[in-house]
Chains A and B, each alone.
Chain A
């Protein structure tokens, strides 16, 4: 085969790959998954704190379905307001009696599975356990949103500004942060 033919074929292949990548990227971002994943599927999660390790391990699978998905992050943003997370964490996630969520400081870890655990099973020093009150699918949506508040979710799929008083930079405008985990202080939930 001539080298020119190979070059043409490679160019064609790259074009196809680019289109497919754009398409899958778009598909991931634009899917509206109204139903949670079926039980038994990777992300179904378990009922006890011990088995939650499996959830953390499977968290990588969450990224495509929630963090790279516009519907998932925007649902998370809606639930943030509905479930009054701002009551402790501040109107735009800037902190109050609970720690700030928009900075790059994470007490227990900033990956999706750890954030899920935090919301579902609570943490010492005041974070309630919402696992019995919020369905798993919604907890994943909240986790995806919380990560987008720190610029850790995909910028394409992160939510935009609300049609309300502007209290924070819209999540889709944030630069991605480099998360670091710090120890909780002895006195309260604040890092040292």
Chain B
């Protein structure tokens, strides 16, 4: 899955606060490291050499010992002061994280599954709500309040360019608030080991201008497009009557499964399988035929259908913008 995923390339206030904290800590720690290594290097350079047979120095020279003691005391005092500074910097950044204004937030319910992300927008409002998976669109400049739940094991939501991570723990509900301040595509990945395909449980947050976001949102609330030719019609028939509908839902058709990503507008997504394959016609057909080839251990079984049936299903899904 393509997108910016760099904690050092912040695109929102959370990640920016953390970026500043990182810089502060990096500078302080590098200085402490350099000074300590310099002290060691100077000690190594200036101390005379001896062999194992040389007798040990048992009579400490008081001036030298006093000088050493002064250095050690200054070293500890300085380190303690710097640690205190870093401690306050950490608390300050921590408070900044929770200080994001939440007025006019977009609400998303994110449920972590093995190995995909289920998202419901505005879940409290039956007229506005819709479901999608693995790809979140958000408006630039507006806060997004995400309620995090896990369906099976512990997952972790992490989009490094937008904010730090938060675990999704079964039986516990947590929230995370992010805001994207720049248009762009930001990649994230599950950050708590969850099984065979933890490595391919990516998600993408697409930050758009408010107008484009509104257009995307209205589109998502529509039911699925009707098929426009015979092949797509055949594809829809197959989706409803064979294994697809057992797990997937397409709003406006008879496919109402709740166990796998919602496919109502799947053609508008850049990737399939939570980042496993790009959503191109060829790869889409290959994914449907044998998802295990790309993502062994995922819950989607290989679909054993004739070649033209496979083409029909793929064509129909490819029409669901």
Are chains A and B touching in the complex at the 8 Å CB cutoff? yes
Chain A positions within 8 Å of B, measured between CB atoms, are: 32, 34-36, 39, 78, 82-83, 132-138, 163
Shortest distance in angstroms between A45's beta carbon and chain B's nearest beta carbon?
10
Question: Which residues of chain B are near A82, meaning CB under 8 Å?
Answer: 246-247, 259
Chain B positions within 8 Å of A, measured between CB atoms, are: 170, 196, 241-243, 245-247, 259, 290, 292, 296-297, 299, 301-304
Contact status B297-A135, CB under 8 Å: no
Shortest distance in angstroms between B312's beta carbon and chain A's nearest beta carbon?
16
Return the contact of A134 from the options B170, B241, B243 (Cβ within 8 A): B243
Most chain-A Cβ atoms within 10 A of its Cβ — which of B241, B296, B301, B302? B301
| 24 A–B pairs (Cβ distance < 8 Å), ordered by A | A32-B297, A34-B196, A35-B290, A35-B292, A35-B296, A35-B302, A36-B301, A36-B302, A82-B247, A82-B259, A83-B246, A132-B241, A133-B241, A133-B242, A133-B243, A133-B245, A134-B243, A135-B243, A135-B301, A135-B303, A135-B304, A136-B304, A137-B301, A137-B302
Contact status A78-B299, CB under 8 Å: yes
Contact status A163-B170, CB under 8 Å: yes
Give bound CA distance, A146 to B64, whole Å: 82
Give the interface SS of chain A, mostly helix, strand, loop or mixed: loop
Give bound CA distance, A35 to B292, whole Å: 7
Question: Which residues of chain B are near A36, meaning CB under 8 Å?
Answer: 301-302
Shortest distance in angstroms between B288's beta carbon and chain A's nearest beta carbon?
12
Give bound CA distance, A78 to B195, whole Å: 15
Question: Which residues of chain B are near A133, meaning CB under 8 Å?
Answer: 241-243, 245-246
Contact status B243-A34, CB under 8 Å: no
Give bound CA distance, A6 to B114, whole Å: 55
Question: Which residues of chain A are near B243, meaning CB under 8 Å?
Answer: 133-135
Residue of B nearest to A83 (CB): B246
Question: Which residues of chain A are near B290, meaning CB under 8 Å?
Answer: 35
Contact status B299-A32, CB under 8 Å: no
Contact status B299-A132, CB under 8 Å: no
Contact status B302-A132, CB under 8 Å: no
Give bound CA distance, A135 to B196, whole Å: 21
Residue of A nearest to B291 (CB): A34
Contact status A135-B302, CB under 8 Å: yes
Question: Which residues of chain A are near B304, meaning CB under 8 Å?
Answer: 39, 135-136
Given contacts A34-B297, A36-B301, A82-B259, contact A134 B292 (CB under 8 A): no
Give bound CA distance, A84 to B294, whole Å: 28
Give bound CA distance, A138 to B246, whole Å: 12
Q: Considering the complex of A and B, which 9 residue pairs feature the smallest CB-CB distances, nearest first?
A: A34-B296, A135-B301, A82-B259, A34-B292, A35-B292, A34-B297, A133-B243, A133-B246, A138-B301
